[in-house]
Amino acid sequence: MINGYEVLESKYPDFEEEQRTPNGIDLTLGCVYEVKNNGYLYGLLKNQKNIPPHILLEPVDIATHGGDIKGWILKPNVAYILEVEDKITIDPDCMQTYYPRSTLLRAGCTLNTAVGDAGYNGKLAFLFINHTLNDFVLEEGVRFAQLVDHQIQGSSKQYDGDYQNDKHKE
């Protein structure tokens, strides 16, 4: 079962009204990392995760047709990690799926996401790739993804992986 507007409103009271959608919550952009490939062999092994470094990018002043903003200029065919501004705590009896705002897709950009497991706590991060030949601008604090919260029937094992409570950043 997908949790609707009223359930989400009570579960996530800290989200702004403008972030609430009929079937989910729009997530806002907190920070952007560039995935740096420095020639090492990266991979997912049975007992090890070898991921490339993520370089934090500072927002810059950008002149747009609508006025000056603070944000990021994302280059074509470069992998970026977009981190959500707000921490998320997923209830023990729920799981979440995440989707890009359709404007990203219509602009030729993709947002790759993963399942949010029951019991997860921390900041969500998604892979972003600009598939066009032009730069793409993301404004600081823009709504870029949507969270859909699902009720789990029956028992559920709680997430306790490497990304719990952002411990991978320590």
Domain of residue 107, CATH code = 2.70.40.10
Q: Please report the sign of the dihedral spanned by the C-alpha atoms of residue 165, residue 114, residue 86, residue 37.
A: positive
Alpha-helical runs (H) found in the chain: 5-11, 102-106
Say how many C-beta atoms besides its own lie within 10 A of residue 156's C-beta: 15
For 19, which DSSP code?
A: G
C-alpha span between 4 and 95 (Å, rounded): 14
Residue 104 confidence (pLDDT): 96
Tokens 């981190």 found at: 83
Q: How many structural domains does the chain have?
A: 1
- The total of other beta-carbon atoms located within 10 Å of residue 106's CB is 8
Can you say whether residue 154 is alpha, beta or left, with left for phi > 0 and alpha for psi between -120 and 50 degrees? Answer: left
Structural domain range at position 141: 5-169
Between CA 30 and CA 35 the distance in angstroms is: 16
pLDDT for res 140: 96
Q: Report the Cα 124 to chain-centroid distance in Å.
A: 5
> What is the per-residue pLDDT across 103-123, written as a single tens digit (0 to 9) for each?
999 999 999 999 999 999 999
Low-confidence ranges of the chain (pLDDT < 50): none
